[in-house]
Structure 1
């Protein structure tokens, strides 16, 4: 753990409130991580039941965001935190926003799975979905791990993986374009796959956002909209 502690306050209750916010955020993260995995599974296997479960649980993700956001607002109003505690509360509100959006993208993937399953036709592109899904799923896991351990090096690795995801996404899109050119009858089905790939790419972006929030939380350095080299330099400062 790289940051200063969050558990050295005179008020034991304040310590417990901060710990509770972190724990609930990680709980939300665990649910969202499973949503990503289940959405990818539902698409690859054309599992309508799994897809519907992903969509149903999106409400739970939304409610967790609201609950944690309200708790952060109460802490700000009652405790008026400063320094690292203030960063923890502020960055938590940003992290849960990104987690909620990952949940939304997972729900979109599940919706495409239902559409493809109902079409009943053979669909190409699942290899690309499998590879990109595994990649961004690991990014989400690692971003949450970076938050749990306040690990800026882990956060940097997540950002580095996002560049690879962008390249992988571009390659997958080119493959899908080739599929549609070869077989115009596949256009409608392939578009569903393309939109699912787009959602996966967006999940990678949100995982990187979480990693950037971790850097600010630990170092007080804003690394949004900077290159990887500059991000690494600011982490080392």
Structure 2
């Protein structure tokens, strides 16, 4: 998997045209995962699109990243958005179709860092007053207010039964999520202190109102197992 060094640290990414050489340029789709996910959440969509589009998926520092960010890196919601904008700049991606599910970070580029965005697609993500959404969001919000609560909540993902409950990940997808994906997504938070220490720290509330994403732009996903964006860290 290729990687690129950005201001906050090194991030991994996948690019279906990484080995395309000097072939004809194709329209680019950038898929953005949400909190405590990685590029694998989009794999079925990448497989469907790769024949007709260049598909790029960055692994953002949202909890399931495998490379710790630099000490002191600001990983608030707006700084994650700025990191995404820097990623588009460094790869010189132009007029991209930017697709976001779960945490809705891509909304924050509109009006500030949108010069490389041709289209913005928001699917099954947080927007406006839908924050934090659902029982999962309320549970996480409550856990953040109790000392050690977030640690105990994360331990539940060690159990396939607990992770699959409707009040947990099982209630966030139309189809059962394979437990090997749960282990992949939450492994860094459970076993890698470096990744856990450089997960988002300022996502309990938006820094300011999103500049787009009306309710009609947040319909149900028909792609891979996705979350409505419940997992936020204080």
TM-score in terms of structure 1 length: 0.23
Judging by fraction of residues, say which structure has more strand. Answer: 2
Rg: which structure is higher? 1
Judging by fraction of residues, say which structure has more helix. Answer: 1
